[in-house]
Amino acid sequence: MINVSFDGILLEKLNKEIEFLKTGRISKINENGDTDFIFTIRKERINYPLMLSFSSDYSRIHLTNHIYDSVLNPKSFTMLLRKHIEGYFIDDIINYECDRILYFKLSGYNELSDLNHKYLICEVMGRYSNLILTDENFIIIDALKHDGIGEYNRTILPNAKYEFPLNNKINPMKLSKDEMIDIFLKNNPKNPKELMNLFNGVSLNIAIPVFQNDFHAETFYNYIHLENKPSTFKNFKDKMDFYYYPLEGNIIKEYDSISSMLDDYYYQMDLRAKVKLKTNDLHTFVKRQITKFENKIEKLEAQLLDTSIADSFKLYGELLLSYPNIKEKKSEISILNYYTNEYIDIKLDPKYTILENSNKFYKKYQKLKSSVTYINEQMEIAKNEIEYFKVIDYQLKDASINDALEIQSELIHGKYLFKNTPNKNKKKEKPKLLTYILDNGTCITVGKNNIQNEYLTHKLAKPNEMWFHIKDAPGSHVVVHNSSELNEEEIRTGAMLAAYYSTYQDSSSVQVDYTRIRNIKKIPGKRACFVSYTHQQTIYIDPDSNFIYKLKVKK
């Protein structure tokens, strides 16, 4: 699934957003997967993590606030980047002709203390994405992906001359409004496809709205120079999408910057893809389980409806006993119902006598009455399973790979899944909890799945430490590791984390309960992740992702 919303116009606007990184120094280069890199740019004593991804499905460039795990044994290309440009300064950041190419002009000193200039070229082109390092003359030092004669008939190999992709399209960002109108009059694009073929950097997200207005040239010019809040929204195919301006009526979330939008959007998409790969699509399995138990409840409700005739069988048996002297066998009999003083017709089995038919009705009554208890028990079990798997479904929404693997382990332990290659000798590791550190040194720990929640609440936390949880909804267990009275910052941060890591993450004025660990009890008959509590206080909080990102994470 290649998202074409990351077009040249968006990249041009992103370039303006990150141009403050000029004069910054590349202090660290980390590899995060086969095609992803985190460049730490240090400027004025502040570190700015820059995500560079060149995967086929999720290629992009943006600043990031998320924590990524670095590869322990980086590939040779990563080591080459560290050798050649770690410590180099960013002289300029250039978007090439409004295409999906952003390149960094770098300067630094080599081992002989000679000043060098190099270019780091980021081609963000879906399956053709690539990261290329060249010298000051654009001679390729190396590239992430080698290609003899590839797209645009270029050679991407060491020692070859790097050439930018050539096309006959026009860079719309360099045109005045009058020049734009002249080009429209001359070329007369009649539909979104023709507009995309005429100008560089244009995707359907901007081409379609242009032709929904009468004045195409003016509309196009206004759109590409629009200053608005970047947004995620439902696109014309009713799928989640993003762009630097929102489509009216379809907004999902607005952001203060393109980087924050891309960081949020791609982090979720990329994480889900990695989790799906690592856990054999655990999310689909959980959805199937929810559907299975919902269908089971429907069938049980139908069976329960059938048991409503049980009292009728009891009545038939009782009325037949009032006619014990009838010896002949009948297929039907009309008997006075002395409760209503009316006659009713009862169908009989002609193979049996009146008394034998009476006994058969009583047996049916007893069987149906017994099944009511069984059906109610099964319905309660099914409802508990649905509640459990809905919690799992929520936990998978923002789960890291480690979190998802713990959830998978939990399901294997519960006999819902079967492990392909069991390792009996493997030592059971403690759950890896998410921990934040406040400026005063107080630790706050968050459980992001049932294993982590149970370990945090019932094993790790001390009796007098404060426990936070969203009120009456699935969410993370949060513990502030301070047995004394909490100050306002500690209470609000604990509540903020509990609200953010919950099903109400995108809501406002979220109710969060908090109480001491000693007041937390397991619920009999339910899994340990479900708890009850007393002596709680409630605080209302607005979840704020920026607040969460600014907290210090303990690694």
List pLDDT tens digits, range 162-197.
999 988 899 999 999 999 999 999 999 999 999 999
Report how far residue 275's alpha carbon sits from residue 396's, in angstroms, rounded to the nearest whole number: 9
Let me know if residue 411 belongs to a domain: no
Place 540 in a pLDDT band, splitting at 50, 70 and 90: very high
Tell me: pLDDT of 421 over 60.
no
Cα dihedral across residues 500, 505, 511, 517: positive or negative: negative
Indicate if 129 and 34 belong to the same structural domain.
yes
- In degrees and rounded to multiples of 5, residue 77 shows phi and psi of -65, -40
For tokens 């890896």, name the residue: 432
Last residue of a domain, which of 257, 278, 299? 278
Cα dihedral across residues 504, 505, 506, 512: positive or negative: positive
Nearest to 448 by CA among 434, 469, 427: 434
Helices (H), 244-281: 258-278
Let me know if residue 62 belongs to a domain: yes
For tokens 């073929």, name the residue: 197
Task: Note the pLDDT tens digit of each residue in 85-114.
Answer: 999 999 999 999 999 999 999 999 988 888
Q: Are 17 and 261 in contact (CB under 8 A)?
A: no
Last residue of a domain, which of 249, 278, 307? 278
Average pLDDT of the chain to the nearest whole number:
89
Length of the chain: 555
Q: Are 192 and 225 in contact (CB under 8 A)?
A: no
Q: Given this model, what pLDDT does residue 420 score?
A: 61
Tell me: pLDDT of 425 over 70.
no
Task: Note the pLDDT tens digit of each residue in 27-58.
Answer: 999 998 889 999 999 999 999 999 999 988 88
Q: Given this model, what pLDDT does residue 126 score?
A: 87
- In degrees and rounded to multiples of 5, residue 91 shows phi and psi of -85, -35
Q: Are 201 and 8 in contact (CB under 8 A)?
A: yes
Last residue of a domain, which of 342, 364, 395? 395
Indicate if 289 and 232 belong to the same structural domain.
no
Indicate if 121 and 17 belong to the same structural domain.
yes
The count of structural domains within the chain is 4
Indicate if 266 and 211 belong to the same structural domain.
yes
CB within 8 Å of 164: residues ≥ 6 apart: 96, 97, 99, 101
Report how far residue 61's alpha carbon sits from residue 14's, in angstroms, rounded to the nearest whole number: 9
Task: Note the pLDDT tens digit of each residue in 258-305.
Answer: 999 999 888 878 777 777 777 778 888 999 999 999 999 999 988 887
Indicate if 41 and 111 belong to the same structural domain.
yes
Residue 60's CATH number: 2.30.310.10
Indicate if 12 and 132 belong to the same structural domain.
yes
Task: Note the pLDDT tens digit of each residue in 14-26.
Answer: 999 999 999 999 9
Q: What is the DSSP letter of 487?
A: -
Distances (CA, A) of 344 to 93, 310, 337, 362, 481: 92, 17, 7, 18, 73
CB within 8 Å of 360: residues ≥ 6 apart: 317, 349, 352
Tell me: pLDDT of 247 over 70.
no
Tell me: pLDDT of 153 over 90.
no
Helices (H), 307-353: 310-320
Neighbour order of strands in the sheet with 60-63:
60-63, 46-53, 36-43, 25-31, 89-95, 101-109, 115-123, 130-135, 140-143
Indicate if 18 and 132 belong to the same structural domain.
yes
Q: Are 31 and 86 in contact (CB under 8 A)?
A: no
C-beta pairs of 503-507 under 8 Å, 24+ apart in sequence:
503/394, 503/470, 503/473, 503/474, 503/475, 504/470, 504/473, 504/475, 504/543, 505/398, 505/543, 506/253, 506/543, 507/543
Place 2 in a pLDDT band, splitting at 50, 70 and 90: very low
Tell me: pLDDT of 227 over 90.
no
Residue 309's CATH number: 1.10.287
The DSSP line for 415-453 is: TSS--SS--TTSPPPPP--EEEE-TTS-EEEEE-SHHHH
Task: Note the pLDDT tens digit of each residue in 69-89.
Answer: 787 789 999 999 999 999 999
Indicate if 127 and 255 belong to the same structural domain.
no
Full domain range(s) for residue 249: 172-278
Grouping H, G, I as helix, E, B as strand and the rest as coil, residue 86 is coil
Grouping H, G, I as helix, E, B as strand and the rest as coil, residue 178 is helix
Let me know if residue 16 belongs to a domain: yes
Let me know if residue 400 belongs to a domain: no
Give percent of the chain above pLDDT 70: 96
The DSSP line for 202-213 is: --HHHHHHHTTS
Let me know if residue 343 belongs to a domain: yes
End-to-end CA distance of the chain: 33
For tokens 């389980």, name the residue: 289
62 exposure class (CB count in 10 Å sphere: 0-12, 13-18, 19+): buried
Report how far residue 415's alpha carbon sits from residue 417's, in angstroms, rounded to the nearest whole number: 5
Let me know if residue 483 belongs to a domain: yes
Q: Given this model, what pLDDT does residue 424 score?
A: 53
Indicate if 322 and 192 belong to the same structural domain.
no
Cα dihedral across residues 28, 33, 34, 37: positive or negative: negative
What number is the average pLDDT over the span 347-362? 90
Q: Are 490 and 478 in contact (CB under 8 A)?
A: no
Let me know if residue 113 belongs to a domain: yes
Beta bridge partners of 122: 102, 131
Indicate if 298 and 387 belong to the same structural domain.
yes
Give percent of the chain above pLDDT 90: 55
Indicate if 78 and 203 belong to the same structural domain.
no
Report how far residue 25's alpha carbon sits from residue 41's, in angstroms, rounded to the nearest whole number: 5
Let me know if residue 165 belongs to a domain: no
Report how far residue 12's alpha carbon sits from residue 173's, in angstroms, rounded to the nearest whole number: 8
Report how far residue 172's alpha carbon sits from residue 199's, in angstroms, rounded to the nearest whole number: 6
Among 135-144, 256-265, 509-518, 541-550, which is the least confidently predicted range? 541-550
Indicate if 34 and 148 belong to the same structural domain.
yes
Task: Note the pLDDT tens digit of each residue in 457-510.
Answer: 999 999 999 999 999 999 999 999 999 999 999 999 999 999 999 989 888 899
